Amino acid sequence: MYDYISGYTDGEGCFSVSFLKRKKLTIGIETRPSFSISQNEDRAEVIYLIQKHFQCGHMRRDYSDKTLKYEVRKLNDLLLKVIPHFRKYPLVSGKQKDFERFAHVCELMKNGKQHTKSGLRKIVHSACQMNPSGKRRYTQEELLALLR
Amino acid sequence: MYDYISGYTDGEGCFSVSFLKRKKLTIGIETRPSFSISQNEDRAEVIYLIQKHFQCGHMRRDYSDKTLKYEVRKLNDLLLKVIPHFRKYPLVSGKQKDFERFAHVCELMKNGKQHTKSGLRKIVHSACQMNPSGKRRYTQEELLALLR
């Protein structure tokens, strides 16, 4: 089952780190790591099973493409449940590189690095190398400009 | 690795049985089972690895959606390599039902049932219950009409 989850994730899963401008934060930017797996609702049994396995995360409906998305956003759950799983049962595809960058970001966050300019620069750099085909709200240059 | 392949297939793989009108065949219809997994070319390492695991099948480029497709069509390879794998390491999603129908069709074909009207009717019936969201060249009714 453990290796099955890694295989399924290698096809359908996504590790990503997004950023939001937040005036209330001294640093001005919120860092939001997320592990997610989307699936059509009529085939959602697998993601419910994966949620049960990880004992964390939530389901949310994506009305834009009529899928159900299993998502883990809490840093502690990512650090203690999700990341250890994929260290033990690695992905086989190039997505493993995304995972390594994702894990690196989460570990920086564990040490509060998202609250310092130099730490957040490192996080932005790693995050922007992930999922090159995905859309980003802000480019790496826009984010780094905010940290000057 | 074995369970990983089942996980990956549960997300990205497809078991299907298609039909072609063939005047040269006495029965008039050719039955074509296929196991396939598609992937973007830049992430194709997994399907090469799966090909290596199964020791059969071929790769083909799908120019319509710029993917690479790993495909097994030979009945003997399906019966001796692909089907035993998924019996031992089953899929978790509803796709397992498609697999069972697929395996049933391949076993009927092992016994030459695709060459008799009553056997082919059974095959058509099973095949048309698979992948309900997929497109079919002929409807079940059209195929059955040819067998009257």
Residue to test with chain B: of A65, A66, A85, A92, most B Cβ within 10 A: A92
Residue to test with chain B: of A8, A42, A70, most B Cβ within 10 A: A8
Whether residue A133 has pLDDT greater than 90: no
Q: Is B126 on the interface with A (CB under 8 A)?
A: no
Length of chain A in residues, anyone?
148
Domains of chain A: 2-146 (3.10.28.10)
Report the C-alpha dihedral over residues A13, A17, A22, A28, rounded to 10 degrees.
180
Whether residue A28 has pLDDT greater than 90: yes
ipTM: 0.85
Whether residue A134 has pLDDT greater than 80: no
Mean pLDDT of B30-56: 92
pLDDT at residue number A79: 98
Nearest C-alpha of chain A: how many angstroms from B1? 7
pLDDT at residue number B62: 83
Mean pLDDT of B64-85: 94
- Span A74-109, pLDDT tens digits: 999 999 999 999 999 999 998 999 999 999 999 999
Nearest C-alpha of chain A: how many angstroms from B89? 9
d(CA B89, CA B98): 15
The model's confidence at residue A36, banded by pLDDT at 50, 70 and 90, is very high
Nearest CA in chain B to A91: B4
Q: Who has greater pLDDT, A134 or A14? A: A14
Q: What is the mean pLDDT of chain B?
A: 93
d(CA A122, CA A111): 13
Q: What is the mean pLDDT of chain A?
A: 93
**Taking CB atoms and an 8 Å limit, are B3 and A7 in contact across chains?**
yes
Nearest CA in chain B to A48: B93
